[in-house]
Amino acid sequence: MIKIKSIDAIEILDSRGVPSIHTSVVLNSGHKGDAMIPSGASTGKKEAFELRDNDERFDGKGTKKAIKNIKNLIQPALLGKSIEDQKELDQIMIDLDGTRQKKKIGANSILSVSLACTRAAANAMKLPLYDYIRILFDSKSNKSSTLSMPRPMLNIFNGGAHSNNKIDIQEFMIMPSDDVSFSEGLKKCVQVYSSLKRLLSSEGWSTNVGDEGGFAPNLDSNEEVIEYLIKAIKSANFSYGKDIFISLDCAASEFFDGKNYILNATDETFSSDGLIDYYVKLIKKFDIKSIEDPLHEDDWGGWIKLTRELSGVQIVGDDIFVTQRDLLKKGIDSRAGNAILIKPNQVGTLTESLDSIQIAKENGFNTIISHRSGETEDSFIADLAVGVDAKQIKAGAPSRSDRNSKYNRLLIIENELYPKK
């Protein structure tokens, strides 16, 4: 039996210069697994708890308390345990914390160990990480799944909490058609990204990038951003609506004031019904294929109505579901949305993330594996997307190594699965 020999963790920095955690799990076989944990800026209030130091270091955002919990609480509980039982390892940590949102030990502490254990097990078994994740996922459903490459969704224009401009919608993404390979689709999107940069620059706009690598000039409205994206697609010699599509992450909880939705860029105020009408017109005008978090996470009535009115459009729940199976089940039962965004740090363990993916698949919900705005060079989510056959992945713009590490890992995986002659 291959057992856990030691667990260590250190404080590192994410892509925003905010402290995060790097954890190493060493096995008695000599194999090792590492993991680095991301952090979000636009977060759902029901997400698992991220433990911070709240002292004078790093404006209170240090992770020394979380690291202490790894060394003094988690390590003693997992030493000598079999690395081959991911579910048991994760459950030990869940029980050790004992709170719904992992507020005692911290979801960042627990997740870093959970993912490091997964990597250590894959290394010990001499399997690619994505293949080991597939085995874990298949064991939950007693089915044999296939490995496939996801369709990338690239956030090439940043607004909302991911920028300093006045644009309210947080992410304007492009995605390729689903009839091309991952590498071909990524290449097309990179060409559009470059085209957008030239277009903005030629008109005197800043081409500095936001947290996720997308451009963030201070344009006047959501509609103007979409029009620029369509111009960039055509300028790159692609057909909009055939080669390249647009999707949105509205992050509407960020512009909800407790009663109404406030679009500051255009000085408009909407009720839930009014915002739904706005989206229906926007989506029909520009043929938007996917929309994420269009309404506040507690506006369940609005979600249900929008899902009913936008038949044929992918309506993705992030803040409303926060990768948690109970909230996902509520969404499925009430027909609120038809897709879920999967962010492992929203729930705190790989096992719980796989649970939500399984429930989504069993009920016809699409699954999209996602990065966070505060990322590291860790590419775990690339292997996760392939291992669970997620079909879609969000990892930001093709800029900044914290984003490209995911795309580069996917290019490597594609070459392993489908070697070029």
Active site annotation includes 84: no
Q: What backbone torsions phi and psi does residue 10 show, to the nearest 5 degrees?
A: -135, 160
Residue 238 and residue 246: Cα distance in Å, rounded?
13
Confirm if 118 and 132 have CB atoms less than 8 A apart: yes
Residue 277: how many other CB atoms lie within 10 Å: 14
Which of 47, 50, 171, 212 is labelled catalytic?
Answer: 212
CB-based contacts of 355, cutoff 8 Å, min separation 6? 140, 325
Active site annotation includes 212: yes
What would the two tokens of residue 390 be? 């997620």
H helical segments located in 102-237: 107-124, 129-141, 182-202, 222-235
Which is it for the CA torsion 64, 65, 67, 68, positive or negative? positive
CA distances from 369 to 85, 133, 308, 318, 393 (A): 23, 14, 24, 11, 5
CB-based contacts of 17, cutoff 8 Å, min separation 6? none
Residue 404 and residue 377: Cα distance in Å, rounded?
8
Residue 252: how many other CB atoms lie within 10 Å: 27
| 20 closest CA partner among 409, 413, 402, 416 | 402
Confirm if 16 and 211 have CB atoms less than 8 A apart: yes
Strand partners, 25: 7, 33
Give the DSSP H/E element, type plus range, for residue 90. helix 86-97
Tell me, what amino acid is at 191?
A: Q
Residue 174 and residue 188: Cα distance in Å, rounded?
10
Coil, strand or helix at 48: coil
Which of 46, 343, 361, 394 is labelled catalytic?
Answer: 343
Tell me, what amino acid is at 164?
A: N
Q: Which amino acids are annotated catalytic?
A: 212, 343
